[in-house]
Amino acid sequence: MIKVGILGCGFMGRTHYNIYAKNSKAKIVALMDLDKGRRQGKWADQIGNLPAAWPKQVPMKGVASYGSVDDAIADPNVDLIDITLPTSVHADVAIKALQAGKHVLSEKPMALTHKDCLRIVKAAAKSKGYYMCAQCIRFWPQYAKIKELVDSGKYGKAKSACLKRLAPTPGYSKGNWLLAAGLSGGAVLDLHVHDIDFANYLFGKPKRVVASGTKGVSGGIDHIEALYDYGKDLLVMVEGGWSFPPEYPFQMVVNVRCEKATFEYVLRAGEGGSGFGNEVVVYPQKGKLRKITCKASDGWTEEINYFLDCIAKKRKPTIVTAKTSADSIAVAEAEIKSVATGKPVAVK
Ligand SMILES: NC(=O)c1ccc[n+]([C@@H]2O[C@H](COP(=O)([O-])OP(=O)(O)OC[C@H]3O[C@@H](n4cnc5c(N)ncnc54)[C@H](O)[C@@H]3O)[C@@H](O)[C@H]2O)c1
């Protein structure tokens, strides 16, 4: 049994809680939050952009409740520290937990700066615990299917990709930390990083990026459009922004054109995947489209189940590594620099 301590009992902490609660390999043994009610499992408030599906009062028998990160990490009963805290503290908390020999699952983005990511990479290399950043899009069934189709080689080389993620301004975070770029990195690090990471997963790190963007309520760049240069005949466009009005439906889109077929998945919240449900649509260059039904699941469930499996089988995660997550932040930083300078920027 893998004993889990969840640090941060907000939207993502609760989402993770529900997933661990359904996995027979895991047992939640500790909750940590600065907010007393939250760490005591009083979760009646509605937060996040999904309908609340967590218990209004978490059963606390056998579950320790901590108000400090250090106390939670020091608990010898905890094997896995799950970090669902604001991004500004990800690096320090992950490093402390790794130094204590714990396994660490940290919400994305890995950290606010590439420099901090490299500190985590170093700590992870020295720890007996595994580290994984929760880059859930790599595990999202439709995205994973598209990656499988591209990698199969059956459809020829990839020629273009378009990745998009648009959302209303998030208003639910505790004290509105998401809307302070110094704490969240704004939409580039918080939202757009999902697609940066998926583009990296598909094609590797680009050599250079060129980006345009606009500032938003966070004080950082809250809407960005970037073009990636791989030094070969491949066009990749990635857009992300959270400056849309409250009723604008969250949407995520991925479209990859290979020589012999184009693959697409479109999700608009409340509209059930643009009429295609769980399906990825394959449009061959010749012949009729076909729909591939994917597993009825989500990236959060799949990533957590994968990480628990890695720990149980003593296999270091390979779908996401500390290095791949650090690479995604390197691309984000290059994009931000490109917006500021108006020039293409090489990726570190
Ligand atoms: N993968 C995804 O799809 C996804 C979606 C939303 C958020 N996230 C990520 O999850 C993380 C948490 O975001 P959220 O939406 O759950 O935010 P949230 O504000 O809902 O929750 C954060 C929780 O941490 C607590 N907290 C704040 N500072 C703390 C500190 N220093 N020590 C202890 N507790 C503290 C708050 O009281 C709050 O309960 C962020 O990194 C965010 O980017 C990921």
pLDDT digits 0-9 by tens, 80-124: 999 999 999 999 999 999 999 999 999 999 999 999 999 999 999
pLDDT over 80 (residue 38):
yes
* CATH number for the domain running over 138-297+329-346: 3.30.360.10
Q: Does domain 2-136+301-317 have CATH number 3.40.50.720?
A: yes
Measured CA to CA, the distance from residue 133 to residue 307 in angstroms comes to 10
Nearest to 131 by CA among 179, 82, 201, 202: 82
Beta-strand pair 26-32/235-244: unpaired
Q: Which atom of ligand 1 is nearest to the CA of 135?
A: 1
3-class DSSP state of 314: coil
**How far away, in angstroms, is 124 Cα from ligand 1 center?**
22
Whole-number Å distance, alpha carbon 47 to ligand 1 midpoint, is: 11
Ligand 1 pocket, residues with Cβ under 6 angstroms = 8-13, 33-35, 38, 47, 69, 84-87, 89, 107-108, 134, 136, 173-174, 190
Instruction: Give, using CA atoms, the residue closest to atom 21 of ligand 1.
Output: 10
Q: Please work out, in degrees rounded to the nearest 5, the angle formed at the alpha carbon of residue 247 by the alpha carbons of 245 and 252.
A: 85
Atom 9 in ligand 1: which residue has the minimum CA distance? Answer: 107
Residue type, 264: E
**Which residue's C-alpha comes closest to atom 24 of ligand 1?**
8
Report the distance separating Cα 65 and Cα 75, nearest Å: 11
Per-residue pLDDT of 279-338, as tens digits, reads: 999 999 999 999 999 998 999 999 999 999 999 999 999 999 999 999 999 999 999 999
Count of Cβ atoms closer than 10 Å to residue 49 Cβ: 12
Q: For residue 188, how far is its CA from the centre of ligand 1 (angstroms)?
A: 17
Atom of ligand 1 nearest to the CA of 175: 19
Pocket mutation for ligand 1, best pick of 11, 42, 88 (most atoms within 8 Å of C-beta): 11
What was the pLDDT predicted at 54? 87
The mean pLDDT of 234-251, rounded to a whole number, is 95
Which amino acid appears at position 317 of this protein?
P
Q: What is the reported pLDDT for 271? A: 64
Give residue limits of the domains in the chain. 2-136+301-317, 138-297+329-346
Counting from 1 in the atom list of ligand 1, the atom nearest the Cα of 47 is 20
Nearest CA to ligand 1 atom 5: 12
Q: Which atom of ligand 1 is nearest to the CA of 174?
A: 19
pLDDT exceeds cutoff 80 at 51? no
Rounded to the nearest angstrom, the distance between the alpha carbon of 90 and the centre of ligand 1 is: 10
Q: What is the CA radius of gyration of the chain?
A: 20
For residue 33, which atom of ligand 1 is closest to its CA?
Answer: 34
User: What's the CA gap between 191 and 186, in Å, rounded?
Assistant: 8
Query: Which amino acid does the sequence have at 154?
Result: K
Cα 22 to chain centroid, rounded:
21
pLDDT tier for residue 46 given thresholds of 50, 70 and 90: confident
> Over 96-134, what HEC string results?
HHHHCCCEEEEECCCCCCHHHHHHHHHHHHHCCCCEEEE
Whether the per-residue pLDDT at 50 is higher than 70: the answer is no
pLDDT above 90 covers what percent of the chain? 91
CB atoms within 10 A of CB 44: 10
CB atoms within 10 A of CB 219: 12
Cα dihedral angle (69, 118, 305, 195), rounded to 10 degrees? 120
Centre of ligand 1 to C-alpha 17, Å, is 13
Q: Helix, strand, or coil here: 9?
A: coil
> Which atom of ligand 1 approaches the CA of 12 most closely?
16
Share of residues in the chain with pLDDT > 70 (%) = 97
Please state, in angstroms and rounded to a whole number, the distance separating the CA atoms of residues 81 and 4. Answer: 6
Do the beta carbons of residue 102 and residue 79 sit within 8 Å? Answer: yes
Q: Kindly give, in sequence order, each residue whose CB lies less than 8 Å from that of residue 263, ignoring residues fewer than 6 positions away.
A: 145, 146, 149, 150, 254, 255, 256, 280, 281, 282, 283
Between CA 172 and CA 53, with CA 320 as vertex, the angle to 5 degrees is 35
Report CA-CA distances (Å) from 15 to 8, 11, 108. Answer: 11, 6, 14
Quick: pLDDT tens for 207-217. Answer: 999 999 999 99
**Is pLDDT of 274 > 50?**
no
Distance from the alpha carbon of residue 178 to the mean position of ligand 1, in angstroms: 9
The yes-or-no verdict on residue 156 having pLDDT over 90 is yes
d(CA 160, CA 180): 34
Same fold flag, 2-136+301-317 and 138-297+329-346: no
Ligand 1 centroid to Cα of residue 13, in Å, is 7
Confidence of residue 278 (pLDDT cuts 50, 70, 90): confident
Mean pLDDT, the chain, rounded, equals 95
The pLDDT confidence band at residue 225, using thresholds 50, 70 and 90, is very high
Between strands 221-229 and 208-215, the pairing is antiparallel
pLDDT of 273 over the 80 cut: no
Pocket test for ligand 1, best of 6, 18, 33 (most atoms within 8 A of CB): 33
> Cβ distance 223 to 214 under 8 Å?
yes
Q: Does the structure show a pLDDT above 80 at 49?
A: no
Distance from Cα 61 to the centre of ligand 1, integer Å: 24
- Residue 109: cis peptide before it, omega within 30 degrees of 0: yes
Measured CA to CA, the distance from residue 13 to residue 66 in angstroms comes to 14
Closest by CA position to 92, among listed 111, 115, 68, 72: 111
Residue to probe by mutation, ligand 1, list 45, 54, 107, 177, most atoms within 8 Å of CB:
107
Does the pLDDT at position 27 exceed 90? yes
Does 272 have pLDDT greater than 70? no
